[in-house]
Structure 1
């Protein structure tokens, strides 16, 4: 179609006017004498002022044939009425329609460019590796789930890097999407059809996280996750997060999940029907993080160095299972961490043991003690803290241990200087 338009622009098709003009060639002349004037001779003159004057002059001159005057004027007018005037074909009026020609050429080039883009497409920037729809996919042996995330501006903290809550939210998101893509999602957070029939939900019991580096704004990370068995009634889920640009490890994490009855809020055994659903997706693989087997001590008002009271969950802190999301606990734990540590060190690892859930009307206290601090006053050594999140009544919510490493000044673009850090 495009080629036909372009061709018609260069070579216009014959029109009815051309056929009519051609028929004039067969018209009869007024006389066969040397002074006779044909109608074709009049019509073929260009439509100019000089031509018009010439036709008028010839029309007024009355020729004689055998001494008798002929009525040329009346015959000429008669032929002009029978054959309407048409402009002659010249070089100028045979030029193509440039607007149509330009449109045809533009369409051809756009179509060619689109085809070339489809053939030659390949990711050239790290940010092009991000999952366009955020759904992820099953990879490798069919049991590992992979999803990419781009670090947004609202996900970075005071250090201009992604916060620990952001990274843990990525882990939780991939866990839920893994269940959904595998076709096991029914309702709730990761509940399978057999779990929904029995009012069972997953709750995390223990989590170990090691952060090797923190991504910055605009970085793209790739999260791989898989599941395995943990004892008789538990499930272990592991994550491995890498930087898509460098290929370096960002986070390694492992966790243990158990079943809880949604109505009674008590832990439950894993039914055989549920095991039959999730068992085919288990992988026999060593955890990506070595578990810290050390027992977490219990803190109280006498042993804690720092205490933050009056912490209350907001409505937005609740998940669809009507309890506080486990990622929210991280922020409450760090509320009682010394500001000097937050300024001079970054969180390198954490171990969490969840004791009970937290509801909407709970009032909590965050306790922290520094168990291993720099003895020489420098920032060249790591630090370790022990944490406890409890209700005001004294019931424990989470016990935790965090490891910290010194952080160095960073540059953020060319318009700002290095980030100034405080002292421990």
Structure 2
């Protein structure tokens, strides 16, 4: 007896009262919680709760002898009944995967910004300033800028077109004025020029192309200015291959001032000379200047004529006249295809006579010279005379181009 009482003290057995209490709690069924014999709240098991929900769903009440479905209420009750696993130390920890994903995203974004700020070349032919606006060199007297040849800047020969190279020359000229702090609100105009409504216009240009860069090449363009007579300014360019250091293009040009309202040439005021004069360098990129007179063609002397050329809105610059690079494309419109297929443009000399606007209609004339000089490699080149004029006969540009056989043609012969 004593032994049974001692055992019952440590291992209590359910009494009749507790059994009745359990039966009573099961019979109630109006709440999710049940009381055990010690008064501790216990949650029902999933199986018992499901059976209870099904029982309630099957027992449809009757109203006036008609059964009424409680499907929506039953579904609602099933949705409200949620169960969770027992709370342990491990399932109470935070979701580290979300935190790790956030940290990774922040790190990648910071790494990308740092790469853009501190870009360094991965190969020797990739220069760190290939994407910059250039810099002043030679004690502030010259300007240097790099260009990467894009896929849309190459032509049928897989090399940069002459228009691409001319655009590089024009871009460096304008950036030179801007980086030097001389550009005002005009297209390369200085503050004193803007006060007098003056702009720069090119009158003559000579370009020598020794080799055309290819897609992906990085070229370095150096440019500087010098005096040309009393009222003119000379601008020169020297283009090299950044990887090999060999010369690609040499060019020189002459610029004069024009009033942008009256469209008449103007003398250089002393105030403008004081602005640009300190940047003059007595050095030229082309020593052997083409001083041969450019002839005027007409319908009788021209071998090829292309009519009906009109400028588009995109061909105009900020001064509302056709960009001078566009003239080169128009000149080559009348050049015979057979020459461009077998030869490449080695040099050209242009004389700009007047400007044209967006409503102008032009025609391009080309004459192929018969006395072609023999090049240094023993193959004869081709020389052409060009004229770009309005349909009324007014001259726009006179030009001369020199062509040499392409390397593929030389190897084939």
TM-score (norm 1): 0.68
Whether the aligned pair in 1 keeps the contact of 2:352 and 2:396 (CA below 8 Å) is: yes
How far is 1:347 from its partner? 0.1
Q: CA deviation at 1:335?
A: 0.8
Q: Of residues 361, 364, 367 in structure 2, which corresponds to 1:366? A: 364
Query: Which whole-Å CA distance do the structure 2 matches of 1:153 and 1:217 have between them?
Result: 6
Query: Alignment partner of 1:313: what SS?
Result: coil
| 1:19-53, Cα deviation, whole Å (9 max, x unpaired) | xxxxxxxxxxxxxxxxxxxxxxxxxxxxxxxxxxx
- Say whether 1:208 aligns with 2:222: no
In the alignment, what sits opposite 2:313? Answer: 315
C-alpha spacing 1:301/1:280, structure 2 compared with 1 (3 Å): same
Find the aligned partners of 1:304 and 1:99 in 2 and give their Cα distance.
77
Could you tell me which residue of structure 1 aligns to residue 225 of structure 2?
A: 227
Q: Which residue of 1 aligns with 2:23?
A: none
2:388 counterpart of 1:389: yes
For 1:357 and 1:57, how far apart are their aligned partners in 2? 116
Q: Partner of 1:283 in structure 2? A: 281
Measured after TM superposition, the shift of residue 285 of structure 1 is 1.5
Deviation at 1:145, TM superposition (A): 0.8
Asked whether the 8 Å contact 2:373–2:382 carries over to 1, the reply is: no
Contact 2:343 2:406 in 1 (8 A): yes
Residue 254 (structure 1) aligns with: 252
Whether the aligned pair in 2 keeps the contact of 1:373 and 1:382 (CA below 8 Å) is no
Query: 1:294-348 deviations in whole A, cap 9, x for unaligned?
Result: 1111111121111111111111111111111000000111111111101000000
User: Residue 133 of structure 2 is aligned with which of 126, 132, 135?
Assistant: 135
Whole-angstrom CA distance in 2 between matches of 1:101 and 1:399: 70
Distance in 2 (CA, whole Å) between partners of 1:204 and 1:98 is: 67
Structure 2, unmatched stretches of 5+, are 1-7, 13-37, 39-89
Once residues 285 and 230 of structure 1 are traced to their aligned partners in structure 2, the CA distance between those partners, rounded to angstroms, is 12
**For 1:341 and 1:164, how far apart are their aligned partners in 2?**
15
Aligned-residue Cα RMSD (Å) equals 3.8
2:397 and 2:175 mapped to 1: Cα distance? Answer: 26
State the Cα distance separating 1:289 from its structure 2 match: 4.7
SS at match of 1:280: helix
- Return the TM-score normalized by structure 2: 0.70
1:53-92 alignment to 2 at 5 Å? none
Secondary structure, in 3 states, of the residue corresponding to 1:405? strand
How many Å separate the matches in 1 of 2:370 and 2:390? 26
For 1:347, the equivalent position in structure 2 comes to 345
Secondary structure of 1:273's aligned partner:
helix
In the alignment, the residues of structure 2 paired with residue 250 and residue 231 of structure 1 have an alpha-carbon distance, to the nearest angstrom, of 28
Would the aligned equivalents of 1:127 and 1:219 in 2 still touch at CA under 8 Å? no
Superposed displacement of residue 216, structure 1 = 1.1
**How far apart in 1 are the matches of 2:312 and 2:293?**
31
Contact 1:200 1:262 in 2 (8 A): yes
Secondary structure of 2:140 counterpart: coil
Match of 2:45 in 1: none
> Cα distance, 1:128 vs. partner?
4.0
Q: How many residue pairs get matched?
A: 334
1:161 corresponds in structure 2 to 159
* Residue of structure 2 equivalent to 1:26: none
Task: State how 1:25-44 maps to structure 2 within 5 Å.
Answer: none
Tell me: CA distance 1:391–1:136, structure 2 relative to 1, closer, same or farther (3 Å). Answer: same
Task: Quote how far apart the aligned CAs of 1:149 are.
Answer: 0.9
SS of 1:146's equivalent in the other structure is strand
2:405 equivalent in structure 1:
406
- Give the drift of 1:129: 4.0
2:352 equivalent to 1:337: no
State the 1:99 CA deviation.
Answer: 7.3
Aligned residue for 2:278, secondary structure, equals: helix
Displacement of 1:259: 0.2
In the alignment, the residues of structure 2 paired with residue 102 and residue 341 of structure 1 have an alpha-carbon distance, to the nearest angstrom, of: 65
Return closer, same or farther for 1:300/1:315 CA change in 2, 3 Å cut-off: same
